[in-house]
Amino acid sequence: MILFISGQEIIFVVLIALLLFGSKEIPKLARTFGKGMKEFRKATEDIKREFENSTPEVMEDFKEIKKNLTKDVNVIKENLTKDASEISRNLTKEADKVARDVKKNLDVG
């Protein structure tokens, strides 16, 4: 969120600071504030740089994970297809056997 501060608000803050700290302390406070902002910017840039440097490594890890998952899914798919074919063959054999038994019983009776 960007803070929008008008000229009047800045003057008000400076007057309050003068009343609270006195004119001799304002330069010290400004220097301390400036150093703090500099350190904050440096830390922000360091975090940004670290994130940008680690992003390609993370993307490579994701690609490797995707590759492994795709391979595993394909193996599972092949196994399921084989199992389904075997079940289908077994059911066909059983259905044929039942049909023969029924026909045999009808012919006998």
pLDDT value at residue 105? 86
10 pLDDT higher than 90: no
Percentage of the chain exceeding pLDDT 70: 95
* Torsion angle of the four alpha carbons 45, 46, 51, 56, in this order, in degrees rounded to the nearest 10: 100
Query: Using one digit for the tens of pLDDT, what is the confidence trace for 78-106?
Result: 999 999 999 999 999 999 999 998 988 88
Residue 10: how many CB atoms within 10 A of its CB?
A: 10
Say what the pLDDT of residue 46 is.
92
Per-residue confidence (pLDDT) for residue 59, from 0 to 100: 86
Mind listing the pLDDT tens digit for each residue in 19-72?
Answer: 888 778 888 888 888 898 899 999 999 998 888 888 888 888 899 999 999 999
Nearest alpha carbon to residue 18 among 8, 30, 6, 7:
30
List the beta strands (DSSP E) in 43-108: none
pLDDT of residue 1: 45
Element (H, E) at 62: helix 25-108
pTM of the predicted protein model: 0.45
